[in-house]
Amino acid sequence: MKKKILKVTGIFLSLVLVMGMMAGCGSKKTTSDKKEEKKQFKIAKKDLKIGVIHISDPSEGSGYTYTHDQGIVAMQKKLGLKDNQIVRKNNITDTDPTKTETAIKECIEDGCNVIFGTSWGYMDTMEAMAKEYPDVVFSHGTGYKKNDSNFNNYFGRIYQARYLSGIAAGLKTKSNKIGYVAAMGKDNAEVTGGVDAFAMGIYSVNKKAKVYVKVTNSWFNPNEETNAAKALISQGCDVIGQHCDTPNPQLEAEKAGVWGVGYNSDMSKDAPKATLTSTIWHWGAYYTEAVQKIIDGTWKPEVYYGGMKEGLVDIAPLNKKLIAPGTEKKINEAKEKMLSGDFNVFDGVIETNDGKKVGKKGETLSDENIKGKINWYFKNIVVK
């Protein structure tokens, strides 16, 4: 009997021991399964050093790089940063990952703890570098990638401003042929969504006009941008819009005695006799907010997608010597509806130029769709 009791007691103790070990193992597993606490970036203003990677030289031209750098300048002034706290790497082609990586490493070796990459093609390299340097904030302009710790992307609802500039173009054209110099083809949603919004703005005031698109297949190629504009003008286009870096299309419009709609900054300073208005960025709105959050310790790797409400995008002042009568009134009406939320450009059912339809009645396309899935052209667009 005593042996049986001892045996039962031994089994019981063994079970208790095993259960305890299992509980211990379970506890360890739970701990290891917990997500690591996300790094909190809080960098004192005096300790900030910001690297900026540019696809071209901001001192040349009035385009994309110039406008981004003006945003950096605005942020620096607003937050009171010193010149030696900004490191610029200019003319870094975004089609060469090695050059991009070298530029980023040079910034980090120089003490940069925040890196802004301003062009689409930097995206994959920045994603990889963010893993390699977890103590550095990486922020990528355009694109769509991010991580959960130190890498985000930022862009804006530039399509809102493109729609408004389309109104100016649609009312001005006499040939009902409007040209558009596009950096990329239909597969790039950023460019295509902009072309569509421009074309939809035109259609809202001029059902007869067609938009002729000429693609350069480059974000920055002055010669191709010039040649594309010349080709469109030779085909009878009397207003030239653009999604490219230089003011060359506006310059060609002025030379030919036709009109244009600029991009990035107010290109009336480059072609005052041609530019009706320009679709413009105020990148300082984002850069100031982002860097202030890093100083405050509230920055998170979130997607930023600002618009007119945030002061990120707009159109330049209308050239009242050139615009058609009634342009300002039509634009102001559309802008007011956008700001109130009554109109969102990509609303309802939209007809494409290949006879298909996208969207749903009573709904508007999602941000995800607009940013990455617009690979169709609006019904009044012709590709040349």
CATH code assigned at 166:
3.40.50.2300
**The predicted structure's pLDDT at residue 38:** 61
**Mean pLDDT of the 90-96 span:** 94
**Mean pLDDT of the 313-338 span:** 98
Position 243 in a domain: yes
Position 224 in a domain: yes
pLDDT at 28 over 70: no
Confidence of residue 63 (pLDDT cuts 50, 70, 90): confident
Residues 137, 181 within the same domain = no
Residues of the chain above pLDDT 70, percent: 90
Residues 28 and 24: their CA atoms lie apart, in Å, by 6
Position 102 in a domain: yes
Position 355 in a domain: yes
**Mean pLDDT of the 155-170 span:** 98
Residues 279 and 259: their CA atoms lie apart, in Å, by 15
Residues 149, 162 within the same domain = no
pLDDT at 9 over 80: no
pTM of the model: 0.86
Residues 257, 301 within the same domain = no
pLDDT at 179 over 60: yes
pLDDT tens-digit series, residues 261-317: 999 999 999 999 999 999 999 999 999 999 999 999 999 999 999 999 999 999 999
pLDDT at 11 over 80: no
Position 34 in a domain: no
Size of the chain in residues: 384
* Domain final position from 246, 272, 306: 306
pLDDT tens-digit series, residues 103-125: 999 999 999 999 999 999 999 99
**Mean pLDDT of the 187-192 span:** 94
Confidence of residue 36 (pLDDT cuts 50, 70, 90): very low
Residues 136, 184 within the same domain = no
Residues 220, 296 within the same domain = no
Residues 288, 273 within the same domain = no
Position 31 in a domain: no
Residues 200, 290 within the same domain = no
Position 4 in a domain: no
Residues 171, 106 within the same domain = no
What is the residue range of 152's domain? 45-156+284-306
Q: What is the mean pLDDT of the chain?
A: 91
pLDDT at 29 over 80: no
Residues of the chain above pLDDT 90, percent: 85
Residues 83, 111 within the same domain = yes
Residues 198, 235 within the same domain = yes
Number of domains making up the chain: 2
Do the beta carbons of residue 117 and residue 72 sit within 8 Å?
Answer: no
Residues 70, 189 within the same domain = no
pLDDT at 32 over 70: no
Closest CA to 185 of 228, 141, 135: 228
Residues 207, 248 within the same domain = yes
Beta strands in 205-347 (DSSP E): 210-215, 239-243, 259-264, 275-281, 304-306, 313-315
**Mean pLDDT of the 49-71 span:** 92
Do the beta carbons of residue 79 and residue 72 sit within 8 Å?
Answer: no
Position 96 in a domain: yes
pLDDT at 27 over 60: no
* Domain final position from 306, 340, 371: 306
pLDDT at 57 over 80: yes
3-state secondary structure of 262: strand
**The predicted structure's pLDDT at residue 31:** 36
3-state secondary structure of 275: strand
**The predicted structure's pLDDT at residue 62:** 80
Which residues, 6+ apart, have CB-to-CB distance to 263 below 8 Å? Answer: 63, 64, 241, 242, 243, 244, 278, 279, 280
